[in-house]
Amino acid sequence: MSVSQETCLLDRVLELIMNEKPPTSATLFLNEDADRPPVARRRLRGAMERSASSLKERMSSVSREKVKGFLRRNLFVLFTVAAVAVGVVLGFALRPHNLSLRGIKYFAFPGELLMRMLQMLVLPLIVSSLVTGISSLDSKASGKMGVRAVVYYMVTTLIAVFIGIVIVTIIQPGKGSRDSPVVKSGNIEPVQAADAFLDLIRNMFPPNLVEACFKQYKTVYKKTVRIRNVTLTLNLTDSLNITESDLSVNLSRVLHTIQETVEETVPASGSSNGVNALGLVVFSMCFGLVVGSMKQQGQALRDFFDCLNEAIMRLVSIIIWYAPVGILFLIAGKIVEMKNLAEVGGQLGMYTVSVIVGLLIHGLLVLPLLYFLVTRKNPYGFIAGLLQALITALGTSSSSATLPITFRCLEENNRVDKRVTRFILPVGATINMDGTALYEAVAAIFIAQVNDMDLNFGQILTISITATAASIGAAGIPQAGLVTMVIVLTSVGLPTEDITLIIAVDWFLDRLRTTTNVLGDSLGAGIVEHLSRAELKSQDAEVRNSVLEENEKPYQLICQENDSLNHRNGETSM
């Protein structure tokens, strides 16, 4: 029953009481009430009126406060959802006008501004959050937390690849009449799997930290032409039609040297634009561990990075007001830019359905089930707190650009410990790519089906392992999955030029898999926090005890303090 219905019912009861006529003497039992003095009846009536009016006010005030609180908590989310809806409508409304490429570029400019703002904050956010998070933990706690995070990442990525393989095997989108490649422009760069994995390891240790802020190492291939000498054996006996008996010297075999021109593709060092997030993550983790082990000496650095992290998050809270406008124009611009939807049919339509079904199963069933099994909490309530981060990921198509919003959602809405989010989220945004791994597995088997190639179990296993490893190397930037797709296809000998088949719908699927990646990172932070609560509580207790000891400790010289500390360490080691 709603509040308004209850209020109307109370008003009717009061009206009946007020209009009640005094009973006649014909009724035996009501004569006793008639004998009651009118003062008592008025008091009863007044008390009931006061209680009814107070109840009515309380119910109306509670409902008003609830509505205000709901709107205050979810204002950004409501704006973002409305921006997505308006962006879709606006995009489809502008499609018949056939805007030029220049017009589309100008139209999408507000969305480009949002991307630039968020990417501006990613670099200081990754460094400051990792250094702050790891330095605030002792090495034992951070080690355990890191192991749990890596195990979670590997398990969820393997599950995602398995789901993708099962879905594409059941639906078989590549069977039937072959679609012609929609986009034939642009060359697919050849990438060797071995070189790609070596690049991954090289990027973990950048030689120049400043350069790592805007460039990452990438192997390029150069063609070299060289001349080599080849020695051939000529049989002169057969060519001259003479026998050995006619010759005093055996000339049946003569060595002949010729020069041959050989063209060889050689890997060479190169670079590509973009933040080397992996190298910065590795450096920040090591730096945070060292700063944390320095105890009091490293306190100044800890305070600096903590203050930097807080300043970045305050900037995020300002930029977040602009996010709905940017997302609106990003989505509308992409819809206007889309090619003819009639071309996206047949095999490509079924491929899109396969990827979407796989991502929905992984994101809405598998990951929440894993969260529930570990924490015994409602996963969908947790996901509701992430709604704005998920919509931002859908709009920006970049898990790194969504990182500032993800931090805010987890820490403010879901109350996840900052020591966990600062450690888990930057690492997850760099190496945990569930949606990308699923997409790559589906795309590889789809291309095999298009070419009528039956993959055996060994090749499918190779695809699953390569997709898992390649997703780690996929940078958190838009459409990085297309680059790593080449590695997966090369590993099982599939034609890389068939990637042009899926480029037409990649912009849309890229947004969905990015949303799945962000969801996996966030649920992982909740799971790791639940598993690490004992270490976090013990560290809180240690911090409280150390503060009390510091306050109660009498004045002494620094050298005396060091002597007492060394004496205490000597006693514990014995």
CA–CA gap between residue 41 and residue 337 (Å, rounded): 77
DSSP 88-154: HHHHHHHGGG---HHHHHHHTHHHHHHHHHHHHHHHHHHHHHHHHHHHTS-HHHHHHHHHHHHHHHH
Check residue 493 and give left, alpha or beta (phi > 0: left; psi -120 to 50: alpha).
left
CA-based max dimension of the chain: 161
The predicted pLDDT at position 486 comes to: 76
The answer on pLDDT for 214 being more than 70 is yes
**Radius of gyration from C-alpha coordinates of the chain:** 35
* Percent of the chain surpassing pLDDT 90: 19
The 10s digit of each residue's pLDDT in 19-51 is 554 444 444 444 444 444 566 667 777 777 777
CA–CA gap between residue 569 and residue 574 (Å, rounded): 9
Q: Which token pair is 20?
A: 């009640």
Count each helix (H run) and each strand (E run) in the chain, helices first.
25, 2
pLDDT: is 524 or 347 the higher one?
524
CA–CA gap between residue 137 and residue 310 (Å, rounded): 18
The predicted pLDDT at position 414 comes to: 92
The answer on pLDDT for 559 being more than 80 is no
In this prediction, residue 137 has a pLDDT band, given cuts at 50, 70 and 90, of confident
Check residue 172 and give left, alpha or beta (phi > 0: left; psi -120 to 50: alpha).
left
CA–CA gap between residue 130 and residue 128 (Å, rounded): 6
CA–CA gap between residue 19 and residue 12 (Å, rounded): 11
Which residue has 């969504």 as its token pair? 402
The predicted pLDDT at position 178 comes to: 54
The type of residue at 219 is T
The type of residue at 332 is A
Burial letters for 450-477: b for 16+ Cβ neighbours within 10 Å, e otherwise? beeeebeeebbebbbebbbbbbbbbbbb
The 10s digit of each residue's pLDDT in 413-460 is 899 998 899 889 988 887 888 888 898 889 889 988 888 888 888 888
CA–CA gap between residue 522 and residue 424 (Å, rounded): 9
CA–CA gap between residue 154 and residue 278 (Å, rounded): 17
Burial letters for 292-321: b for 16+ Cβ neighbours within 10 Å, e otherwise? beeeeeeeebbeebbebbeebbebbeebbe
- Beta-bridge partner residues of 258: 230
Nearest to 467 by CA among 162, 190, 151, 171: 162
The answer on pLDDT for 297 being more than 80 is yes
- 441 CB-near residues (< 8 Å, 6+ apart): 160, 161, 164, 165, 168, 463, 464, 467, 488
Per-chain mean pLDDT for the chain: 78
In this prediction, residue 526 has a pLDDT band, given cuts at 50, 70 and 90, of very high
CA–CA gap between residue 553 and residue 54 (Å, rounded): 57
Nearest to 111 by CA among 384, 431, 511: 511
The predicted pLDDT at position 456 comes to: 81
The type of residue at 149 is A
The predicted pLDDT at position 571 comes to: 46
CA–CA gap between residue 490 and residue 485 (Å, rounded): 9
* Percent of the chain surpassing pLDDT 70: 73
Question: Rounded mean pLDDT of 388-392?
Answer: 90
